[in-house]
Structure 1
């Protein structure tokens, strides 16, 4: 009798907890996205949109040095946006005639359709479409990329090497801290859960908040270059714009795509005739030192020896 009474009280307690949790969870899931800071609002206001297959893509296009033929296109990383480049934007305009950056589909101020099969191939096609939109399809382009953008750049390089008509003509390529080798790429725990979580992924994306985001992202920066809390809020505001947190698991499929198309994208870097520059921060926990650099030396050491024998 005592045991039954205890079980009844426990059931009543859990029912009360459930009744309290449901409205709290509902309120949490409907928390509005953070307001844009003045700097981020200014970035959006100074940009433009173009349409790719019915989807709005945000981009920035600044005219810099007069008389220079040089054009640079900036490809941002995951999970942020073109706003990543704002600190060096003015410096780039002093070097290049045109400085162009876009928010990839699913990122920043661009559309974030769901459900949608996000792919590196589509992002590369969007870059090509933007340059056609700007009338630059026949110009030689310098590419500066980071992280996720590195893989998009590798796909653009592959297309360029295939001499496919209408493709981007690349003058130079600069890759920075991207997982160009899937075998040395070490995704964060949350990234692993989201990309392979199955039914768990939609739950995690809805429960994600600024605290989880900032705690997960901060360690990928060096100890002296970590963003301030206001900068992290700007990044989070870009993600939350248009409910972007709900497509993060779909965007993260790029990690699986890197493995599947390794030969295509790593192979694109072999036997190139254009200048390629790597910027690599050795404290990067996602592409850890020294595995990444050692594999790079092995791959391109073999390539250099084979070129010498020809």
Structure 2
């Protein structure tokens, strides 16, 4: 009896395998057009809030590429609290855009004569060329070109930077201290939650895959969708300071604008650039006499407190530091804009 059962099972096996193979073929035939449609999903429409931010900006050309920026200042007859010549430039992080500054934009415009925020090349509403060799050096040159276009080259400017923008700010600091042609003259530099030191920077898994895998990166950039994006961004916000659904969607929309998801792997090479040029950028930070301040969200998993802050204080002894509440994470200007502003204004008024 047992032998007959085994024999019958063995005789049925090829037929079962054939049916299974046919089933997978059918699944594949169904999935191919679905994937093809998915990969060509148009970018989402701008929300009213994001449309307002976009319509309030302008574009200038840098080496044939369109760069989006916003510029606004205090009324000329009031000059703001700090005087008519004060300029602040805001440098955003990865993978978002100048819209990261929207919660502190109005208070800054009431205090400074000029407030300027731009989308780096490859981000937000700026052009996102591909293939393209994205570099921190080029982004610094974009900022210098914008300052020159606005006629502010002779002004002393204040920089406020976050995440990716921190590294661009360090290149601008290096050029300023070295008196390079076309450089910005810095009045102050305020950094926040950036990977200044490669040894204390822990990029997320998807970032590591995108920057290191030439095989997987093209596939991952196309398959990354809103839910994957939302999960990844949500992990670098505190549990009590999560963006609203509308805010998550605005971040995703600005990323998808001009197919920005397809250049993420190229932009992420900045992590490797930090390692290669550590001496240049950390050296500028530790040797400058420009007033420095760090505003830090201590729950940050990308630049965690136990490693980052002690090293920062050890190496950058001329800098002051504000550590925000323990539930604030990687995006302090969005998670706690009031405390971020208070810390920044206290720093500005201290010198």
Quote the RMSD (CA, aligned, Å). Answer: 1.3
Counterpart in 1 of 2:224? 208
Alpha-carbon shift at residue 158 of structure 1 (Å): 0.5
Alpha-carbon shift at residue 137 of structure 1 (Å): 1.2
Counterpart in 1 of 2:145? 129
Q: Do residues 218 (structure 1) and 238 (structure 2) align? A: no
Match of 1:33 among 39, 43, 61: 43
Counterpart in 2 of 1:116? 132
C-alpha contact 1:65 1:96 (8 A) present in aligned 2: no
Normalised by the size of structure 1, how large is the TM-score? 0.95
Distance in 2 between the 1:82 and 1:298 partners?
31
C-alpha contact 2:123 2:260 (8 A) present in aligned 1: yes
C-alpha contact 2:58 2:68 (8 A) present in aligned 1: yes
Distance in 2 between the 1:178 and 1:243 partners?
25
Deviation readout 1:236-258 (Å, 9 max, x if unpaired): 00000000000011111111111
C-alpha contact 2:174 2:280 (8 A) present in aligned 1: yes
**Structure 2 unaligned spans of 5+:** 1-10, 320-351
Q: 5 Å matches for 1:170-209? A: 170-209=186-225
SS of residue in 2 equivalent to 1:269: helix
Distance in 1 between the 2:311 and 2:61 partners?
40
Structure 1 moving runs of 4+ over 4 Å: none
Alpha-carbon shift at residue 302 of structure 1 (Å): 11
Deviation readout 1:248-269 (Å, 9 max, x if unpaired): 1111111111111111111111
C-alpha contact 1:155 1:265 (8 A) present in aligned 2: yes
Higher alpha-carbon Rg: 2
Counterpart in 1 of 2:274? 258
Alpha-carbon shift at residue 5 of structure 1 (Å): 1.6
Distance in 1 between the 2:233 and 2:96 partners?
10
Alpha-carbon shift at residue 301 of structure 1 (Å): 5.1
Deviation readout 1:157-185 (Å, 9 max, x if unpaired): 00011111321111100000001011000
From the superposition, tell whether residues 301 and 90 of structure 1 become closer, same or farther in structure 2 (CA, over 3 Å): closer
SS of residue in 1 equivalent to 2:60: strand
Distance in 2 between the 1:226 and 1:265 partners?
32
Q: Do residues 44 (structure 1) and 54 (structure 2) align? A: yes
Counterpart in 2 of 1:14? 24
Counterpart in 1 of 2:326? none
Alpha-carbon shift at residue 4 of structure 1 (Å): 2.1
C-alpha contact 2:93 2:164 (8 A) present in aligned 1: yes
C-alpha contact 1:65 1:93 (8 A) present in aligned 2: no
Distance in 1 between the 2:40 and 2:165 partners?
31
SS of residue in 2 equivalent to 1:136: coil
Counterpart in 1 of 2:302? 286
From the superposition, tell whether residues 59 and 263 of structure 1 become closer, same or farther in structure 2 (CA, over 3 Å): same
**Structure 1 unaligned spans of 5+:** 304-310
Q: Do residues 162 (structure 1) and 172 (structure 2) align? A: no
Distance in 2 between the 1:223 and 1:150 partners?
24
Counterpart in 1 of 2:314? 298
